[in-house]
Structure 1
Amino acid sequence: MEPTPVLKEKFFIVIRGKSRKGFCRGCIGRVEAELQRGELMGLLYSGGGGGGSSNAGSPKSGGLVRREDTYPLSRHQAQLLLFVSPASKRLELLCNPQLFSAICELSQDDLVVVKHKKGHLPGLVKNLMQIGRKENKDDLHMLGFEVEFVDSDHNLSSKKPAAPPPLFSAADIVQVVPSYSVPLGLHWKDSQCGDLNRKGVTRINSMPNIGSHARRVRENRTEQSVIQSQSSSTSHVSLEVGSMVEVVSNSGVTVYGVVHWLGVPEGKTDKWAGIELDYEVNGCSDGEYRGQRYFTCKGGRALFVPVTKCSPDGRFVCSSTGRENPQPTDTPPVPTYEDPEEDAPPIPESEALSLLVGRMKGIQGHINSCYLDAALFSLFGSSVTLDNICKKPADTEKPITCTLRKIVNRLRRQGFVPAQNVMNFRKQLGCDTFRTEEKDPEEFITVLFQKVLCIEPLLKLRSGQETCQGAYTFQIFLEREQMGQMPTVQQLLDTSCLSGDLKFEKMPSCLMVQMPRFGNKYKMFSHIIPSTELDITDLLYNSPRECFLCGHLAEYECLQCLPDRKLQPGRIKQYCSTCNTQVHTHPSRQGHSPKALAVPADAASDTPVPRHMMQLFAVLCIQTSHYVSFVKFGPDPHSWLFFDSMADRCGDDQHGYNIPVIRACPELGDFLSKPEEELACSNPSQASELVRRLLCDSYMFLYQNPATPLSKPNHQEP
């Protein structure tokens, strides 16, 4: 097949896929030709970050790479990323498109915050530097930044004007401070740098001099800044947990973060905010303030300030004095995407954080779609059990199934699905209420599996001796008096099944358990403890079970023994014939009515019974009519993500778009790894914000049996 020559210079970075002829994840390449089968023929560049090499980026080798495994770059972007090392840091930077875009537009005298051995320090960009000698026409200069530090008195800290400022890569820049954030009275000294004698490092004289533009912007915003400073003590924006905010530090540097706690700390009289910053800052904590823990995060990221010091994150909120509100045609800056024919596999655990975590990640919400966004991300964000639903050839599928497959593929390849894709899917569901109204997740899930995917009911439930009934989700029904104040999902499931005389006909491949609540208006329990594993051995019909006391083959089951405090309350009680007689001779149990079990004829009385376990892989939560989800993206106990399809918004309700956010939340692993007895005695109010949200707002728990794939009916609907 003849390759198509590339007329214009094109560069790319490999974002996913296995290493292929040298093109591993994070490497930079230049397109030499494009093949019709969806592959790129390119040159691979070697680079040395942090000044570790004096040679320019040289093409090390050539090879083929799939187009869908790459992300296009401009020459300038490629040069900046080439100086970043190791390659994994390039992908981390690319996962923050707002920051990377701002770095690409830096110019002289722009204020930045850089990572340094002394911590995160503010400084001024002085020069854009070419690193390496260009020895042949295919070489590509690496680019870095000379940054001059600024001390707390707003003066340049360089004491020796002749010494060149330190050199930083794009990955060393953790923040670009907007020009309008610089407070009044902050005047920068003019610096004079002598000639550089660094081997292989050259100042680019043609660096865009946008610094003068930045100063004009500051001058134009002077009046606005004065008004803001005069009114900041009397009024402030309404905040809530989850709000994205910015705070101007005493040194004039703006820091950004997410509100995790609101309240009046001990020793204070006014309202304060506990904020998790985007990066570590010297002097910040891990969620403690004056010896009291208010939330939990990584060390050096927790900042506590009065709410009057907070304002909306200026990177995502359109200012009334800035450009006009986005028009309906405005869309967030997302990479273009071409859907290949082959299905994308589940995201590997090693790649999930770099691909998914950040703003404008996951599925973008639009017009009450959070129930659908959270459900789709929970089902297809990482679950291997549900992976084979998109394996049918695209040319024989219904249009709506093709649309769903494209959503799943884009999520797994690019880490982001625009709202328009989901709106098309909602329209194809066929019901007007799915297009604009908020639905219950269980209603959408039933339609998804039954009508869209044509999958047989996930559950086959037997009530007493009656025939089986099919279902896609399991609703918990019980009396509040049957449980303690903070039950586990295992206890809720066991009690509900025994109370309703229900059994699973066979081991389900996927079990979605609805909690005893009705939307955001009523919930039976204020807190529910997630069970990371569900043991459904004792809930399977006509399956061997072991005696609760002696371990031999069980022949009887007793519902009245379930809450018995002397027999592990909340645990299902089944007994062999001997133990059943002995247990029910106790005066407090003589009124019980044990029920005979259906015992398989070939079951041996003294053979250990294998346990049938299901693993938790996602949790849907609801708070104030808004659905979010927690999803486990790998086997590691700490591999948890939090997803909100409408975490923030750019523009007003009529114009603009929602900003979906995905956050890593390893603290869930720490919490859920505790013994069940310790969890039952824990105080949810002292837990971190995300753990507390999981305990208080859980709506549906999703479990899977990885050994059992989902099945489709023998016939296929047209």
Structure 2
Amino acid sequence: MDKYFIVTRATARKGFPRGCIGRMEAETQTGEIVGLIFGSGGGVTKRGGLLQREETYPLTRHQAQLLLFVSPASRRLEVLCNQALFKAICDLAQDDLVVVRHKKGFQPCLVKNLMQIGRKDGSDDLTMLGFELQSVSTQSADQKVSSKKPAPLPVFCAADIIQVAADYNSPARLPLRDNHTIGTSRKTVSRVNSLPSKIGLLKKALSEQNTPDINRLSEHPTPPPPALEVGSMVELTSNKNVILYGVIRWIGVPTGKKGDWAGIELDIDVGTCTDGTFLGQRYFTCKGNRAAFVPLETCVPDGRFHAPSPTDMVKAPLPPTVARVEEEEEDEEQDAAPLSESEVLTVLHGKMKGIQGHFNSCYMDATLFSLFSSSVAVDRLCLSSVSTEGSICRQMRKDIVNRLRRNGFVPAENVMNFRKQLGCSTFVTEEKDPEEFIGVLLQRVLRMQPLIKLRSNRDSGTFQDAYTYQIILEKKETGPCPSVQQLLETSFISCQLKFEEAPSCLMVQMPRFGKNFKMFPCIIPSTELDITDLLHQCPRECFICGQLAQFECDQCFRDRKLQPGRIKQYCSTCNTQVHSHPSRQGHTPRNTSLLAEVSTTGPVPRTKMELFAVLCINTSHYVSFVKYGPGPRSWMFFDSMADRCGDDHTGYNIPEVRACPEVGDFLSRPAEELAHVDLSQASEMVRRLLSDSFMCLYQCTR
């Protein structure tokens, strides 16, 4: 009998990342597994690899086939974490009712078939399995139009299914696996959430068989927290294992009852509920069929939006082997690595993800998220910085950086503690600029030397060190929608500056003053910043012929006959020819100060930096756009205060991270097209990026 497994812990050996599926071919005397690993299409990709048994978790063939269709590999472990739901998915029969993630919402569907994905090219290959699902909303319409050939049903993977209802409309259950009969006495294995109105059909179907009696809710085994009050978001568990969500609108002792009761306005209509009356008396007013009255002790905080404390941030129950591995990884002293492109959307995407904002902390939240979520260059700088055990640097990496990368969420308490540790009361009580915070973070916390070393062309002996660079220029020097490349070059020419050396990380502050005044209506963040012509004693090519340049001229930069806005440097011959023109005879070109060992032959190497984050500000609120991988569409948006639960005194902020590939699509357009952008035609995320950009963060590509 074949024995399949999933790798739960990454190893040093190549080809065995976490989440990959394999089949055990043999076992060594030392207990190691000789594994055969399957690729994403089911084909064999590696033979004869060795794995420790504790690095794997056993699977049946059916489980392996279902998980193999889930991608990326890191997402498979997330599916496996919810054992009850995954077991129900494995046991699905024809016409069972499920809820799937579909586009930007949720959709109730009926299971129609189990589909084999791909083909077997060899005897060792393993076919993937997916579910053919039919939307409940389209079922009746399809039945009416029977003369037409039905369209193919969409196929979903196991990770798309978020809920399974028990025994729905299945008098004759048809097993979806060979030699396996599914019983009819299963209980509901996952929560039937109070979803948006799209779930109305599902709710109606469930009400015919499993309608919860809202007045006979079972008591929750855990004592309710004392913080529940009017306005609290809560969840109710019925004796049918259905969970409903709502907001407490009234607390008191109803006539004829004992003890505290809660009047709750539910998210959805339930037939047994009212519009705010109970036993003939009105306690509050809401939409009909949404008011439920239950003992207060049966209410618990809404698990979807509860602000977790450090002890609350526990993942769903894991299989024993996986749980042990996760605990070991959490206890490791070594720092968590930046999230890879395949991990980001699994770990970070969604509400209550990222860094939770609190009390004017958005400047700090956006900066920390931009620097530490996925930037490898910044991480190398931090690891090379001087820090001591127990220092504020160590505490920041433990409570913020590692927690962000491992759990995908940093509670506001951790950031507030860090603000206090900075030792400056204004960081705790007032909103600051990211520029000021970056200086404190890199200098005092990470003890790093300044990232930027600037040389003045006016005085060759004058240097200036800095952690960020503020663009300074006149508005008339560029067009209405300049790129960061244009702004940086124009600013360097205007201030007569050069980089003494290429910075490993360059943080460029846009030309805006205060929180409201913007010099330009929009700025295009250059995805690649070429700083070759801004480096001192760096070989550059002639603007005219492309040979090694020996002279540069600031006056030619604005010459309308020589492509204004482009840095001009010339070889000896071209310099003489260009400045023989009557309009340029008054120019004063200067020597480029090349190193003696620079070769005069061959192409001139370019020094480029890549954009990895953009901090934005609007109405005193900071957010960030972060590029989380090499793919051009790998962009995500982070807002530490995207939503709020409760009032200003007792509530809390809800952070959110969401993918925004449209930003990458826009920035990938040709430069000529970007220069004439029409903001009215751009998406919301693109408009926010271009209009509100405050600081662009670049890292060296070499």
Give the TM-score normalised by the residue count of structure 2: 0.64
- Distance, in Å, in 2 between the alignment partners of 1:351 and 1:358 is 13
The aligned residue for residue 293 of structure 2 is none
The aligned residue for residue 487 of structure 2 is 492
- Distance, in Å, in 2 between the alignment partners of 1:334 and 1:418 is 13
With 585-594 and 376-385 compared, the bigger mean Cα shift is at 585-594
Query: Match of 1:459, as an amino acid?
Result: I
The aligned residue for residue 172 of structure 2 is 193
- Return closer, same or farther for 1:551/1:410 CA change in 2, 3 Å cut-off: same
Structure 1 residue 640: deviation in Å? Answer: 2.3
- Return closer, same or farther for 1:685/1:395 CA change in 2, 3 Å cut-off: closer
- Distance, in Å, in 2 between the alignment partners of 1:194 and 1:422 is 53
Residue 366 (structure 1) aligned to one of 358, 369, 378: 358
With 169-178 and 681-690 compared, the bigger mean Cα shift is at 169-178
Query: Match of 1:435, as an amino acid?
Result: V
The aligned residue for residue 182 of structure 2 is 203
Q: How does 1:604-615 map to 2 (within 5 A)?
A: 608-615=603-610
Kept in 2: contact 1:26–1:91 (CA 8 A): yes
Residue 435 (structure 2) aligned to one of 428, 442, 458: 442
Unpaired segments of 5 or more residues in structure 1? Answer: 1-11, 30-40, 53-59, 127-142, 160-165, 180-187, 223-320, 708-718
- Return closer, same or farther for 1:607/1:13 CA change in 2, 3 Å cut-off: closer
- Return closer, same or farther for 1:190/1:459 CA change in 2, 3 Å cut-off: closer
Residue 479 (structure 1) aligned to one of 467, 474, 481: 474
Residue 468 (structure 1) aligned to one of 440, 459, 463: 463
- Return closer, same or farther for 1:365/1:334 CA change in 2, 3 Å cut-off: farther
CA displacement, residues 358-413 of structure 1 (integer Å, 9 cap, x when unaligned): 33333232322222222122212222222234547999335211122223223333
Number of aligned pairs?
544
Query: Match of 1:208, as an amino acid?
Result: K
Residue 687 (structure 1) aligned to one of 682, 692, 695: 682
Kept in 1: contact 2:70–2:158 (CA 8 A): no
Kept in 2: contact 1:23–1:63 (CA 8 A): no
CA displacement, residues 185-240 of structure 1 (integer Å, 9 cap, x when unaligned): xxx99653368696443434553369999749978899xxxxxxxxxxxxxxxxxx
CA displacement, residues 468-492 of structure 1 (integer Å, 9 cap, x when unaligned): 1110000000000111111111111
The aligned residue for residue 418 of structure 1 is 411
1:427 aligns with 2:420: yes
Q: CA RMSD in A?
A: 5.2
- Return closer, same or farther for 1:45/1:538 CA change in 2, 3 Å cut-off: closer
Q: Match of 2:555, SS?
A: coil
- Return closer, same or farther for 1:473/1:47 CA change in 2, 3 Å cut-off: closer
- Return closer, same or farther for 1:169/1:634 CA change in 2, 3 Å cut-off: closer
With 466-475 and 593-602 compared, the bigger mean Cα shift is at 593-602
Kept in 2: contact 1:155–1:189 (CA 8 A): no
Structure 1 residue 459: deviation in Å? Answer: 0.7
The aligned residue for residue 122 of structure 1 is 108
Query: Match of 1:63, as an amino acid?
Result: Q
Kept in 2: contact 1:390–1:405 (CA 8 A): no
- Return closer, same or farther for 1:704/1:153 CA change in 2, 3 Å cut-off: closer
- Distance, in Å, in 2 between the alignment partners of 1:597 and 1:587 is 23
Q: How does 1:478-627 map to 2 (within 5 A)?
A: 478-603=473-598, 608-627=603-622
- Distance, in Å, in 2 between the alignment partners of 1:43 and 1:87 is 24
The aligned residue for residue 343 of structure 1 is 335
The aligned residue for residue 171 of structure 1 is 158
Residue 451 (structure 2) aligned to one of 446, 458, 461: 458
1:355 aligns with 2:338: no
CA displacement, residues 103-143 of structure 1 (integer Å, 9 cap, x when unaligned): 89999999643489xx99634699xxxxxxxxxxxxxxxx9
Kept in 2: contact 1:328–1:656 (CA 8 A): no
Kept in 1: contact 2:7–2:21 (CA 8 A): yes
Kept in 1: contact 2:633–2:662 (CA 8 A): yes
- Distance, in Å, in 1 between the alignment partners of 2:407 and 2:653 is 18
- Distance, in Å, in 1 between the alignment partners of 2:609 and 2:595 is 23
1:379 aligns with 2:387: no
Structure 1 residue 345: deviation in Å? Answer: 2.5
Kept in 2: contact 1:343–1:391 (CA 8 A): no
1:661 aligns with 2:644: no
1:63 aligns with 2:52: yes
Query: Match of 1:451, as an amino acid?
Result: R
Query: Match of 1:549, as an amino acid?
Result: I
- Distance, in Å, in 1 between the alignment partners of 2:422 and 2:175 is 64
Kept in 1: contact 2:507–2:698 (CA 8 A): yes
With 88-97 and 358-367 compared, the bigger mean Cα shift is at 88-97
Query: Match of 1:405, as an amino acid?
Result: R
Unpaired segments of 5 or more residues in structure 2? Answer: 23-30, 43-48, 113-128, 146-152, 193-205, 216-297, 316-325
The aligned residue for residue 113 of structure 1 is 99
Kept in 1: contact 2:451–2:466 (CA 8 A): yes
Q: How does 1:129-140 map to 2 (within 5 A)?
A: none
Kept in 1: contact 2:362–2:621 (CA 8 A): yes
The aligned residue for residue 409 of structure 1 is 402
Structure 1 residue 341: deviation in Å? Answer: 1.4
With 193-202 and 524-533 compared, the bigger mean Cα shift is at 193-202
- Distance, in Å, in 2 between the alignment partners of 1:350 and 1:385 is 18
- Distance, in Å, in 1 between the alignment partners of 2:600 and 2:638 is 48
Kept in 2: contact 1:487–1:529 (CA 8 A): yes
Kept in 1: contact 2:358–2:412 (CA 8 A): yes
- Return closer, same or farther for 1:414/1:211 CA change in 2, 3 Å cut-off: closer
Kept in 1: contact 2:7–2:19 (CA 8 A): yes
- Return closer, same or farther for 1:44/1:688 CA change in 2, 3 Å cut-off: farther
The aligned residue for residue 85 of structure 1 is 68
With 79-88 and 403-412 compared, the bigger mean Cα shift is at 79-88
Structure 1 residue 46: deviation in Å? Answer: 12
The aligned residue for residue 282 of structure 1 is none
Structure 1 residue 493: deviation in Å? Answer: 0.6
- Distance, in Å, in 1 between the alignment partners of 2:84 and 2:349 is 17
- Distance, in Å, in 2 between the alignment partners of 1:156 and 1:678 is 45
Structure 1 residue 684: deviation in Å? Answer: 2.8
- Distance, in Å, in 2 between the alignment partners of 1:445 and 1:104 is 48
1:150 aligns with 2:142: no
Identity of aligned residues (%): 55
Structure 1 residue 355: deviation in Å? Answer: 3.1
With 514-523 and 683-692 compared, the bigger mean Cα shift is at 683-692
The higher-RCO structure (CA 8 Å, 6+ apart) is 1
Query: Match of 2:388, as an amino acid?
Result: T
Structure 1 residue 704: deviation in Å? Answer: 1.4
- Return closer, same or farther for 1:101/1:409 CA change in 2, 3 Å cut-off: farther
- Distance, in Å, in 2 between the alignment partners of 1:437 and 1:360 is 24
Q: Match of 1:396, SS?
A: coil
Give the TM-score normalised by the residue count of structure 1: 0.62
Kept in 2: contact 1:558–1:592 (CA 8 A): yes
- Return closer, same or farther for 1:96/1:401 CA change in 2, 3 Å cut-off: farther
- Return closer, same or farther for 1:408/1:157 CA change in 2, 3 Å cut-off: farther
Kept in 2: contact 1:113–1:174 (CA 8 A): yes
- Return closer, same or farther for 1:44/1:562 CA change in 2, 3 Å cut-off: same
Kept in 2: contact 1:151–1:157 (CA 8 A): no
CA displacement, residues 41-96 of structure 1 (integer Å, 9 cap, x when unaligned): 99999999xxx9xxxxxxx9983557xxx9xx9x99xx989954335367437769
The aligned residue for residue 198 of structure 2 is none
- Return closer, same or farther for 1:83/1:98 CA change in 2, 3 Å cut-off: closer
- Return closer, same or farther for 1:425/1:211 CA change in 2, 3 Å cut-off: closer
Query: Match of 2:99, as an amino acid?
Result: V
- Distance, in Å, in 1 between the alignment partners of 2:141 and 2:83 is 27
